[in-house]
Chains A and B, each alone.
Chain A
Amino acid sequence: GENVEQHPSTLSVQEGDSAVIKCTYSDSASNYFPWYKQELGKRPQLIIDIRSNVGEKKDQRIAVTLNKTAKHFSLHITETQPEDSAVYFCAASLNTGGFKTIFGAGTRLFVKA
């Protein structure tokens, strides 16, 4: 089955710097890759996603890149702010039979003011 690995597990940056979180997946048939942000005690919230027919997607300070050949995708946050501090999860979904989604273990991002 699908396996998603996420790195790093913890990331600390200065306010205004960029943050990059990387994920790899194992099932080449996966075709949807969402990123979720989870604040302490809250539910995961989708922040950006990318489908396999696109190599890059950007939404203001957040961007995601996908390399299907390498089975690798990344989240880029520019001009980080203290409110970006949270746990970020990548995931991979297979568009067959119910769209099972497998999550990475998460990255705890600290943005220091």
Chain B
Amino acid sequence: NAGVTQTPKFRILKIGQSMTLQCTQDMNHNYMYWYRQDPGMGLKLIYYSVGAGITDKGEVPNGYNVSRSTTEDFPLRLELAAPSQTSVYFCASRPRVGTYEQYFGPGTRLTVT
């Protein structure tokens, strides 16, 4: 199993541009999450999903959108990028039953200038 994979690893955006951060897991996990981590800070939950077709807002959803058309994929969309969205973005997943542990992807480092 590859686990949770994220692309790209790094990206520089200009203010006002848009992009999609990709997240895929091959563990058949129902629950998936997007977090952002600002320098020297903890993780803030952006959006999460309990299964295909179901998404909900986390602590800091403004400026982002998500979709969950399959169990495997949970892309995060940034529209009209702003410098405040400069951060490291982590995707995570966990199964619906069994372990409560969240499995994190390697992260995407995004800079908006």
Residues of A at the B interface (CB closer than 8 Å) are 1, 6, 32, 34, 42-46, 49, 51, 89, 93, 97-106
Decide: A99 and B42 in contact? CB cutoff 8 A: no
Decide: B49 and A98 in contact? CB cutoff 8 A: yes
B100's nearest neighbour on chain A, judged by CB, is: A32
Partner of A100, one of B42, B48, B104, B105: B48
Let me know if B58 is at the binding interface, CB within 8 A: yes
Besides A1-B59, A97-B50, A103-B35, 18 other CB < 8 A contacts?
A32-B100, A43-B106, A44-B43, A44-B104, A45-B104, A49-B100, A89-B43, A93-B100, A98-B31, A99-B100, A100-B58, A101-B102, A102-B59, A103-B43, A103-B44, A105-B41, A105-B42, A106-B42
Decide: B48 and A98 in contact? CB cutoff 8 A: yes
**A74 shortest CB reach to chain B, Å:** 17
Task: Give A8 to B35 CA distance when docked, in angstroms.
Answer: 23
Decide: A103 and B101 in contact? CB cutoff 8 A: no
Decide: B104 and A51 in contact? CB cutoff 8 A: no
Decide: A46 and B59 in contact? CB cutoff 8 A: no
Let me know if B107 is at the binding interface, CB within 8 A: yes
Decide: B94 and A99 in contact? CB cutoff 8 A: yes
In the bound complex, residues from chain B placing their C-beta under 8 Å from that of A34 are 100-102
Decide: B43 and A49 in contact? CB cutoff 8 A: no
Name which of B35, B43, B106 has the most chain A CB atoms within 10 A of its CB.
B43
Name which of A32, A42, A43, A102 has the most chain B CB atoms within 10 A of its CB.
A43
Let me know if B74 is at the binding interface, CB within 8 A: no
Decide: B41 and A106 in contact? CB cutoff 8 A: yes
Decide: B41 and A43 in contact? CB cutoff 8 A: no
B50's nearest neighbour on chain A, judged by CB, is: A98
In the bound complex, residues from chain A placing their C-beta under 8 Å from that of B50 are 97-98
B41's nearest neighbour on chain A, judged by CB, is: A105
Decide: B42 and A43 in contact? CB cutoff 8 A: no
